[in-house]
Amino acid sequence: MSVAGSPELRPRRSAGFTVLELLIVVAIVAMASAGVTLSLRDGTEVQLAREAERLVALLESARARSQVSGVPVQWQLDADGFRFDGLDQSQLPKQWLDPDTSASLGATLLLGPEPIIGAQALTLQSRSQPGRSVRIATDGLRPFAVQPSSP
């Protein structure tokens, strides 16, 4: 028999952490790393994405104007930025938001007046970081859209 107060009758205390404590620590670390990842997004990448979304909106607007008016509209690069031939140039932007942005395309983009156009694409890139680029394309049926970057 054991006597009261002997080591055999005392409750054993476990050494270590409970599953709940470990889950809380993992959740805190995950939230902290997600916050750091979002705050470290590259400024060049953000600017190119902004330029691409703006250009998509401009191309689709010009495409709609061309269809409504029946006038052929072409988008072209020029020395200062770009232009829309066939539309009133005084109402349209002609330059990039960021002077570091440039574009490359094989020929001019034909935006209409036909509702179905050929497949067309262009690439926006950063002059200071040539590895950064964004592709904008259409298959001719769907609107112009920013294409996901390939790995």
* pTM of the shown model: 0.71
* 3-state per-residue secondary structure call for the chain: CCCCCCCCCCCCCCCCCCHHHHHHHHHHHHHHHHHHHHHCCCHHHHHHHHHHHHHHHHHHHHHHHHHHHCCCEEEEECCCCEEEECCCHHHCCCCCCCCCEEEECCCCEEEECCCCCCCEEEEEEECCCCCCEEEEEECCCCCCEEECCCC
Q: Which domains does the chain have, with CATH numbers?
A: 43-147 (3.55.40.10)
Block mean pLDDT (10 aa), the chain, length 151: 58 77 91 79 82 95 93 90 89 90 88 92 90 92 85 49
What integer pLDDT is reported at residue 146 of this predicted model? Answer: 95
